[in-house]
Structure 1
Amino acid sequence: MEKSELVELLSAEGLRLLDELPPYDSAADVVRTVGALRAAGHPPTLVAAVLSQSKLRRRARDKFSDFADRMLFTEAGLEQATRLPVAALHAQRFRGAGLGRIADLGCGIGGDALAMAALDLGVTAVERDEVTAAIAAYNLAPWSNAEVVNASVEDHPLDGIDGVWLDPARRHGTTRLKNPADWSPSLDFAFDLARRLPTGIKLGPGIDRDLIPEEAEAQWVSVGGEVVELALWFGAVARPGIRRAATVIAAGGSAELTAAEDSPDVEVGPPGAYVYEPDGAVIRARLIGDLARSIGATMLSEGIAWFSADAAVDTPFASRFRVLESLPYDVRALKRLVAARRIGTLEIKKRGVDVDPAELRKKLSPKGDAAATLILTRVAGRHTALLAERD
């Protein structure tokens, strides 16, 4: 977003027009809407700005629920923003540690700072980009305990600050994940702060694990089955004795699996009546073994994140599938099986097998009114196809 566009949007006319627009409808006639707004005397640049914000607000409801209807966004800011339920977990860490004022360094549009302010924490939100800082200031305006500073994260003083939250951005155009300098601010800067103040750092879940300091609590978080972040916690906001955590957030609430270290896998065994696929957060945290032991399961194969048991155990940390058929991986045999069972809706999952699911689907030609899941993996090292149904 350009500065001139933001100025128009933040005008009395711009905010009034934005609030008067009906909820964004992707199926609506945009040309007709633009024409009507122009005919009402609104400048074309303002019309474009408010329609863009209306679209962003609609998208933002997935992350911010009803809060999105009074917030402003940029494309990049919304993409990078923490989901509100996850931001609430961050804020609870700081409040639970008894900290009073938190510096949100690299606050973006203010999602984490909003959650902190809502829990009555004092927040100083620092953002280098002028436009993004102005949007954060608008989003945090209802909270008198929050302030936004347009400044460099590295240069902002931390006098009177009890704890720090950082969301380092990837430097433009980089693809590496192993160089601490690839983030802005750098990981070296973030880890140095963590040695001085209670600190939380948000990183991508796929970060090289060798970069995780030994003293940090590493918490992988998934929402609706998608792993959305790795949070590193230091000092008073890290929990004693916990170095690995998998937090799973779903419609029914949240659950967490924790340990002092990576857990060793359980032994390999034959497929039972059920197979389990661990949540991505459990896989990233390397807590598959602890989860499998808790339900009396064995691994299907070494190094493959599937385990199996004869018991149907409910767990928020894995999806469960009832095995219908088990056979060596052979396309012709699978095509006959899919046809015999009249399977028309076929979910294909693979792990440890070099298969293109889209190409395989064409070869299997599923037709019929039945539904099933095809799991392609290794069992005791052998390529195997498990036909199953979600349980």
Structure 2
Amino acid sequence: MGYDFTGADLDFMDSEAGAEALSVVDELELDARSSVRDISSVRARFSDRAGALIETVTVRRKARVKLLDSDRWWVTDEAVQQATPTLVARRRAARLAGRRVHDVTCSIGSELAVLVDTAELAVGSDLDPIRLRMAAHNVPDATVLRADALTPTTRETVVVADPGRRSGGRRRHDPAALEPPLPELFDAYRGRDLVVKCAPGLDFDAVDWAGEIEVVSLDGGVREACLWSEGLSENGVRRRAAVLRSDGSTLEFTDAESDDIPVRSPGGYIVDPDGAVVRAGLVRHYGARFDLWQLDPRIAYLTGDTIPAGVRGFAILEQSKFSEKVLRQQLNRMDCGSVEILVRGVDVDPAILRPKLKLRGSVPLSVVITRIDRSAVAFVCAPGVIGQPV
């Protein structure tokens, strides 16, 4: 559950003695091998502030990859878990550049920290007084105030909201079960420019939304769905996929682009589109961009004679009707010792299938199992590679 910070904890950490104490604790390893000794040492030296110090240092370390430039932040484990990765937040901030923006669920300020660099005005609010103090410490250039997210407190601002979607450590995907509930949030800011961050597993069909739904991935992992009101959307765009990489590269796909691709026999490669593309329902648009085609109109795998630059693809070595026996024989004949198994459209669990293949060789391979015309098909492929510029 994490440590429950108090105002007295923050008062201490805001003092010269508290800053020095954090530095002392940060010098400790606090890993599995040394944690008992280290925690005992902190408790002996800092008594009732030990919990706050240990939590701050350990959570900061976990947050470094996700929240850039946060080494001096005040943090909680729960807040960091829900916080938007900095690289994803920067994309949103770029779309809102030059606007007056109010983050009505600012928590510890991870979104505000990026907005202050691009927005004309960045305001943050939250009901939790502890997280609000943390936001004020973490983002001193932003204006913060205590307010209910469902009570409008600024005018002529773009409202950004990130409803709470965890309860008891589990994610909630029902729009009405979020905090605040999406229907109430929509009602509170009806007619306003509104941006709402949601879990990527959100049931889009259950959301009454007239604007754009954007699904964002970072380094291959789908991170969020973001709802953009009509005033913030490009004309005609209802779905968008943003594929981000830590190297700064970005690919975007929208439903305003062509989705005219054929369905035909496999080419030399199978391409598994990025998860953001699949979740946004833009597989055909993705294929049209890269001159790929579909194996089956209901399946998200694509195929082509080349692998697009920056995209992962699998060179097809053999194709056969799927059966465990046939696949085991193929892989053993090819001296396979390890296998990556990708499945779509077929009820096969890779974790259960893998030991049944009884691999004894030395060659790494990949297997793509899917459905074509209602039949399960297996493609034995070379290990996946990233396409390079021609």
Aligned to 2:83: 81
> For 2:154, which of 158, 181, 196 is the aligned residue?
158
Distance change >3 Å, CA 26–CA 112, structure 1 → 2: same
Structure 2 SS opposite 1:253: coil
Q: What does the per-residue CA deviation read over 1:179-237, in whole Å, with 9 as the maximum and x for residues that have no partner?
A: x4322222223323554322211111122222445531211100111111111112443
Task: Confirm or deny that 1:2 pairs with 2:1.
Answer: no
Q: What does the per-residue CA deviation read over 1:9-66, in whole Å, with 9 as the maximum and x for residues that have no partner?
A: 4443333221342375535411222344345x321x322322222111111012113x
Question: Which ranges of structure 1 fall in alignment gaps of 5 or more residues?
Answer: none
Identity %: 30
Task: Confirm or deny that 1:138 pairs with 2:137.
Answer: yes
Structure 1 SS opposite 2:106: coil
Task: Compare the two structures and name the one with the higher helix fraction.
Answer: 1
Separation in 2 of the partners of 1:7 and 1:332?
Answer: 66
1:79 positional shift: 0.6
TM-score by length of 2: 0.88
Separation in 2 of the partners of 1:47 and 1:83?
Answer: 28
Task: Confirm or deny that 1:345 pairs with 2:338.
Answer: yes
Separation in 1 of the partners of 2:39 and 2:291?
Answer: 61
Separation in 2 of the partners of 1:33 and 1:388?
Answer: 49
Report how many aligned residue pairs link the two structures.
378
> For 1:12, which of 13, 16, 33 is the aligned residue?
16
Distance change >3 Å, CA 46–CA 36, structure 1 → 2: same
Given that residues 261 and 288 in structure 2 are in contact (C-alpha distance below 8 angstroms), is that contact kept between their aligned partners in structure 1? yes
Separation in 2 of the partners of 1:34 and 1:167?
Answer: 34
Separation in 2 of the partners of 1:171 and 1:49?
Answer: 22
Amino acid at match of 1:278: P
TM-score by length of 1: 0.88
Superposition RMSD in Å: 2.5
1:104 positional shift: 0.3
Separation in 2 of the partners of 1:133 and 1:110?
Answer: 8
Aligned to 2:39: 34
1:125 positional shift: 0.6
Separation in 2 of the partners of 1:175 and 1:203?
Answer: 11
1:348 positional shift: 1.1
1:279 positional shift: 0.6
Q: What does the per-residue CA deviation read over 1:277-300, in whole Å, with 9 as the maximum and x for residues that have no partner?
A: 011111111111122123332212
1:342 positional shift: 2.4
Aligned to 1:109: 108
Task: Confirm or deny that 1:52 pairs with 2:44.
Answer: no
Aligned to 2:293: 298
Separation in 2 of the partners of 1:231 and 1:245?
Answer: 9
Aligned to 1:287: 282
Aligned to 1:63: 66
1:319 positional shift: 2.2
Aligned to 2:388: none
Give the stretch that moved more between structures: 251-260 or 218-227: 251-260
Question: Which ranges of structure 2 fall in alignment gaps of 5 or more residues?
Answer: 386-390
Separation in 2 of the partners of 1:175 and 1:55?
Answer: 23
Distance change >3 Å, CA 27–CA 176, structure 1 → 2: closer
Distance change >3 Å, CA 182–CA 262, structure 1 → 2: farther
Separation in 2 of the partners of 1:129 and 1:288?
Answer: 41
